[in-house]
Amino acid sequence: MASSILVVSTDPQGSTVWWADRVGIALPFDFATAHDDPGSLKYLKDTGAQIHVICNQKGGVGKTTTTVNLAAVTQEVLGDSDQRLHIFVDTPGSLENEHILMAALDVADDVLVPLPPEPLAFDPTARTIEQVILPRELPYKVVVNNWDPRDGKADRDETIEYIEAQGWPRANTVIRRYKIHTRAAAEGKVVTQYPDSGTTLRAREDYFKLALEQGYGGTR
Ligand SMILES: Nc1ncnc2c1ncn2[C@@H]1O[C@H](COP(=O)(O)OP(=O)(O)OP(=O)(O)O)[C@@H](O)[C@H]1O
Ligand SMILES: [Mg+2]
């Protein structure tokens, strides 16, 4: 029996490198890097696992946070397995590494696009969807991430309206902003490893809801 979940980091820059440096840390899923050799991503297909690519060429929208936490809750639901069941691929948040994103999308079964409730992120997100995802006819969903309920519902609702006006499919689950996510990332921890508290439960719930909505728990 081994971990049913693999996270693959393909981002040669930024926060994922930080995660990649901590491969030795006690993560609840397997972790691999493919920064230097995006061509190796094609071998992921041989595992028979469902491959989920998390992408948005706008930086800092929550790709890495979504990837590792969705992987963590899916591992918790499915437990260990003889087979690899799901692979989550984190991708670069920059246009210059588009070839890496392309290699990831070549093996994708589906795509998740995190989008924060910030109008500045809207146009770059539209570019990724229209120029990179739609031409491949891959199933995809936009997921609103990093919404702070204390800011009121207007930001969230305007973002949802924008997504719907574009005609993009959207995850019903909205990932809320919790400082604990930012803090935990600095410690190399994922949502299932946070010390129990009311906030932890709510923070976890968002990812469990998203995993359930995506059907990640139902293939055991
Ligand atoms: N739901 C959230 N709650 C709190 N903080 C968040 C949330 N989502 C993302 N963040 C924080 O926002 C910052 C950017 O997130 P993250 O690194 O996941 O984005 P990214 O899209 O992977 O960035 P890059 O394009 O640089 O790879 C990080 O500090 C992260 O901790
Ligand atoms: Mg990242």
Domain CATH number, residue 37: 3.40.50.300
pLDDT cut 70: percent of the chain above it = 93
Q: Is 185 left (phi over 0), alpha (psi -120 to 50) or beta?
A: alpha
Ligand 1 and 145: CB distance under 6 A = yes
Distance (Å) from CA 1 to ligand 1 centroid? 32
CB-side neighbour CA atoms (13 Å) of 201: 3
Distances (CA, A) of 143 to 26, 186, 205: 27, 23, 15
Distance 94 CA to ligand 2 centre (A): 10
Residues ≥6 apart with Cβ < 8 Å to 28: 3, 5, 72, 75, 76, 190, 192, 193
Specify if 19 maps to a domain: yes
CB count within 10 Å of CB 195 equals: 8
Q: Which ligand is nearest to the CA of 58?
A: 1
Distance 46 CA to ligand 1 centre (A): 30
Note whether residue 198 is domain-resident. Answer: yes
199 within ligand 1 shell (Cβ under 6 A): no
Residue tagged 């963590």 (tokens)? 72
pLDDT at 25: 66
Q: Answer yes or no: is the C-beta of 62 below 6 A from any ligand 1 atom.
A: yes
In a domain, 70, yes or no: yes
Residue 44: alpha-carbon gap to chain centroid: 17
Whether 39 is covered by a domain: the verdict is yes
Residue 219 has pLDDT above 50, yes or no: no
Give me ligand 1 centre to Cα 61, in Å.
6
Closest CA to 100 of 45, 50, 54: 54
Question: What whole-number distance in Å separates Cα of residue 3 and Cα of residue 171?
Answer: 26
Candidates 143, 141, 169, 6; CA nearest to 62 is 143
CB of 11 closer than 6 A to ligand 1? yes
Poorest-confidence range of 16-25, 102-111, 131-140, 171-180? Answer: 16-25
Number of domains in the chain: 1
Whether 185 lines ligand 1, by a CB cut-off of 6 Å, is: yes
Q: Is residue 177 part of a domain?
A: yes
Question: Is 73 inside any structural domain?
Answer: yes
Is 220 domain-assigned?
Answer: no
Rounded Cα–Cα distance for residues 160 and 168 (Å) = 10
91 CB near ligand 1 (under 6 Å): no
- Tell me the best of 65, 70, 190 to mutate to test the pocket of ligand 1, counting ligand atoms within 8 Å of each CB and taking the most: 65
Residue 219: inside a domain, yes or no? Answer: no
- How many Å apart are CA 83 and CA 89, to the nearest integer? 18
Mean pLDDT, all residues of the chain: 92
Q: Whose CA is nearest to atom 9 of ligand 1?
A: 62
Tell me the pLDDT tens digit for each residue of 4-31. 999 999 988 766 666 666 655 688 999 9
Task: Give distance in angstroms: CA of 87 to centre of ligand 2.
Answer: 16
Give per-residue pLDDT as tens, 157-179: 999 999 999 999 999 999 999 99
Domain of residue 191, residue span? 2-214
